[in-house]
Amino acid sequence: MKEKIYQAQCVGNVEPIEYMIPYPSMRSLIEGQNIKFSKQLIFSNLSITNYEFYILVQKTAKWLLEMDIKPKSRIIISGDDPFLTTLLLFGIWHLGATAVLIGEIDLSDVKEKIKSEHQISINKQSFDAISKLSDNFIPTHKPLLNEEAIVIFKEGLGIRLSHYNLLVNVNSISKLLNLSSQSRISIQLPCDSIGWIILGSILPIYSGLIIDNSNPEITIGLKGCDYNIRYDLESILNFSITDIGICPENSGCLSLGSEPIHLTSFSIDNRKLRITGHSVMMGYLNESQNQKSFYNRSLNIKV
């Protein structure tokens, strides 16, 4: 099964190991970008710079560790505040753990499937506690590119995404959007979606953007924005050039209009979507579903 998944992750003759992205993990992403953008605001409405956010990420990782959460743990997260949810995500990755987004699936069912009882959110009270902690945190585990970073549930199926999946996906959509650093952006998506994780949480850090909900230059949302998210992939060949196709199994973004993102290829026939490329997921938690979906050197999904 691992070989079948790896074959689907190749595009043409280019294997994932042959394409170098700037950072070896999500933890390294925020560390590296601080060299470029440390003094620049990232959350404009909160007046928080990239460096200040990185310090808070270190404190959040320490806060998680003090709750006896270990590296490589799977942690169910929740929250509707974009800043606090982003902070929790990067705190989990800084610790070397996996974030789990459950959507509408039953909580007890999720805990059984991921083999974990950890469930965390950050509210004002816990944020105040985090802010008072020392930022002296030295990670004991530095995740590799092929290690699990996210598990997201779609129609009851757990989708496993690696650090490489997330980084190559955001790198690929950023090439198509062609955003300049210091551009002001507003992402109007729910925090429990993979579209928000890629576009609202990772992309601003990766591309040096400023999150500004008051006076944005660019908006991304479900309707009436500069770029609109589309989930109806059966219609992907008719998408507008300002539509972003979202496919969780492809780590978030699949296309801008009908054009696949960089290092991705897809075709659609008789409501079956065939995808190959570096953003293709690590696989489902359900091994029988993997057997049904990975064949002919591709990932095959009904749409």
The amino acid that residue 143 corresponds to is P
In sequence order, what are the residues at sequence separation of 6 or more whose Cβ sits closer than 8 angstroms to the Cβ of residue 168? 16, 19, 21, 251, 263, 278, 279
The answer, yes or no, to whether residue 209 has pLDDT greater than 80, is yes
Distances (CA, A) of 90 to 54, 99, 202, 214, 263: 9, 9, 9, 24, 25
% of the chain exceeding 90 in pLDDT: 85
Interhelix angle 26-37/163-177, nearest 10 degrees? 40
pLDDT value for 139: 84
The predicted model gives 189-197 an average pLDDT of: 95
Number of H helices, E strands in the chain: 10, 19
Model-level pTM? 0.96
- The confidence band for 20, taking pLDDT boundaries of 50, 70 and 90, is confident
Would you state the pLDDT for residue 83?
97
Give per-residue pLDDT as tens, 112-165: 899 998 999 999 999 999 999 998 888 889 899 999 999 999 988 999 999 999
Q: What is the mean pLDDT of residues 59-68?
A: 95
Query: pLDDT at residue 18 above 80?
Result: no
Chain-wide mean pLDDT for the chain? 95
- Cα separation of the two ends of the chain: 23
Distance CA 43, CA 67 (A): 27
The mean pLDDT value for 73-91 works out to 96
Examine the pLDDT at 17 and tell me if it is beyond 80: no
- pLDDT band at residue 103 using 50, 70 and 90 as cut-offs: confident
Domains and their CATH numbers in the chain: 2-302 (3.40.50.12780)
Across the range 259-276, mean pLDDT stands at 96
Long-range contacts of 288-292 (CB under 8 A, 24+ apart): 289/157, 290/1, 290/4, 290/5, 291/1
In residues, how long is the chain?
A: 303
- Whether residue 279 has pLDDT greater than 90: yes
Q: How confident is the model at residue 50 (pLDDT cuts 50, 70, 90)?
A: very high
- Give the pLDDT confidence score for residue 74 in this predicted structure: 97
pLDDT higher than 80, residue 174: yes
169 has pLDDT over 90: yes
Q: pLDDT grade, residue 301 (50/70/90)?
A: very high
Residue 263 clears pLDDT 80, i.e. is over it: yes
- pLDDT-based confidence at residue 55 (cuts at 50, 70, 90): very high
At 292 the pLDDT is: 97
